[in-house]
Amino acid sequence: MFKKNRHGIQIKTAEQLDKMRAAGLVVGRTLELLRRSVEPGMTPLDLDVIAEKAIRDEGAIPSFKGYQGFPATICASVNDQVVHGIPTNARKLREGDIISIDCGAILDGWHGDSAVTVPVGEVDPKLTELMRITEEAMWRGIAALTVGRRLSDIGYEVERYVRGQGRFGIPPEYGGHGIGTEMHMDPWIANHGRPGRGPTLEEGMCLAIEPMVNLGTERTRVLADDWTVVTVDGKPSAHFEHSVAVTHNGPWVLTALDGGAERLAQLHN
Ligand code: MG
Ligand code: MG
């Protein structure tokens, strides 16, 4: 019923891709709502409450909640937090912060997973640039998701773009992943490396592409809560993610409201 290829990567039928799209749209709409909700004075936990309600109102289940003991619906990672921040009420968001919001949902047994980094009010232009570069790196990686290309082309395109923008850190131990009937499936996807390696991309694969880019060093550590990943030098980090299907018509960005059409068309010009 759930097909895998010889590399152990789940291959979806057209009907299953439609279900992945439905799950992806729940996540996409939730993140759009969260993006519009972020403002100074809110706490990450306020955003978590909004996210859980939005997901459940659509008949879906927040996939992060309870995942390996994670206590919340979103990961909320502020400033020097790279990923996996636990949303709490401990500190209000302030003008000038950036917050990465990562969100996953299960609909009808199928997963969506996506993340955005959002400015809180007016932020330093260096942070605006960091977010722009990280998001663009994600789209460069997504554009490599065409039938016949190789898995390592994704990380190659991500890294090539980031390196071309200046000196930034790409934490090497974190990356993307296959997605489908589980949130994290084979293969693991690096955000760096050489092209032309690994499995050939084929129609029906669904992959979550998620670069993290640090303003300073690539080195990170995990806080005592066993979840929150922070930069070692305390400099800010950005994170963007989409879940994407490989199709004969090119990448289908399952968690983007327009399926990725606008951004992918810009890249091809
Ligand atoms: Mg995610
Ligand atoms: Mg992910």
Does residue 269 register a pLDDT over 70?
no
Instruction: Tell me how far apart the alpha carbons of residues 155 and 133 are, in angstroms, rounded to a whole number.
Output: 15
**Burial annotation 33-52 (CB, 10 A radius, 16+ → b, else e):** ebeeebeeebbbbbbbebbb
Average pLDDT taken over every residue of the chain:
97
Does residue 227 register a pLDDT over 90?
yes
User: What is the predicted pLDDT for the residue at 18?
Assistant: 98
Distance from Cα 114 to the centre of ligand 1, integer Å: 5
Distance from Cα 65 to the centre of ligand 2, integer Å: 14
Average of per-residue pLDDT across 79-84? 98
User: What is the predicted pLDDT for the residue at 268?
Assistant: 79
Average of per-residue pLDDT across 250-254? 98
User: What is the predicted pLDDT for the residue at 1?
Assistant: 76
Average of per-residue pLDDT across 239-243? 98
Average of per-residue pLDDT across 91-95? 98
User: What is the predicted pLDDT for the residue at 230?
Assistant: 98
Instruction: Tell me how far apart the alpha carbons of residues 244 and 13 are, in angstroms, rounded to a whole number.
Output: 14
- Integer angstrom CA distances of residue 63 from 72, 183, 189: 9, 8, 20
pTM of structure: 0.97
User: What is the predicted pLDDT for the residue at 160?
Assistant: 98
- Quote the percentage of the chain above a pLDDT of 70: 100
Ligand nearest to the CA of 188: 2
47-65 confidence digits (pLDDT tens): 999 999 999 999 999 999 9
Distance from Cα 241 to the centre of ligand 1, integer Å: 6
- Class (C level, CATH) for 9-268: alpha beta
Distance from Cα 123 to the centre of ligand 1, integer Å: 24
Distance from Cα 113 to the centre of ligand 1, integer Å: 5
127-156 confidence digits (pLDDT tens): 999 999 999 999 999 999 999 999 999 999
Q: Which amino acid is at 58?
A: E
6-19 confidence digits (pLDDT tens): 999 999 999 999 99
Distance from Cα 177 to the centre of ligand 1, integer Å: 9
Nearest 5°: CA angle at 254, between 264 and 29? 105
Distance from Cα 180 to the centre of ligand 2, integer Å: 11
Distance from Cα 95 to the centre of ligand 2, integer Å: 27
Domain edges within the chain: 9-268
Instruction: Tell me how far apart the alpha carbons of residues 129 and 45 are, in angstroms, rounded to a whole number.
Output: 27
